[in-house]
Amino acid sequence: MKHEITYGKADVKVYRTLAEPLTGITLIPESPFTGRDNRLVAAQIEVVVRGEVFLEAYTRGDNRLVVATDTMKNFIHAVSLRARARTLEEWLLEVGTAFLDTYPHMERLTMIGRDLPFPAALVPATDGDGFDASDRLFSRDRGDYGSARLDLERRTDGSVTITGQESGRRELQLVKTTGSAFADFARDEHTTLPERPDRPLYIWCDIGWSYTDASDAVLVNPDRYVAAEQVADIANAVFHEFVSLSIQHLVNEIGTRMLDRWPQLSSVSFDAQNRLWDLVAESADDATVKTYSDPRPPFGHIGLMLRRD
Pair 57, 63: CB distance under 8 Å: yes
Query: Which residue in the list 23, 26, 69, 177 is annotated as catalytic?
Result: 69
Q: What are the φ/ψ torsions at residue 144 (nearest 5 degrees)? A: -70, 160
Contacts of 97 (CB under 8 A, 6+ apart): 152, 160
Q: Which residue, 112, 118, 172, 117, is CA-closest to 147? A: 112
Q: Catalytic residue among 6, 9, 17, 290, which?
A: 9
Specify the length of the chain in residues: 309
Rounded to 10 degrees, the C-alpha dihedral 15/90/155/214 comes to: 140
CA-to-CA distance for 35 and 218, rounded, in angstroms? 15
Taking the C-alpha atoms of residue 90 and residue 304, their distance in angstroms, rounded to an integer, is: 27
Task: Supply the DSSP string of 271-282, one letter for each residue.
Answer: EEEE-PPEEEEE
Tell me, what DSSP letter sits at residue 288?
T
Instruction: Give the DSSP letter of residue 277.
Output: P
Residues facing 300 on adjacent strands: 274
Start-to-end Cα distance in the chain: 39
- CB-based contact 136:17 (threshold 8 Å): no
Active-site residue flag, 290: no
Cβ atoms of residues 152 and 111 within 8 Å: yes
Residue 177 parent element (H or E): strand 160-182
How many CA atoms lie within 13 Å of 279's alpha carbon, on the beta-carbon side? 13
Classify residue 29 by burial, with Cβ atoms within 10 Å: 0-12, 13-18, 19+: exposed
Q: Is 161 a catalytic residue?
A: no
> Which residue numbers are catalytic?
9, 69
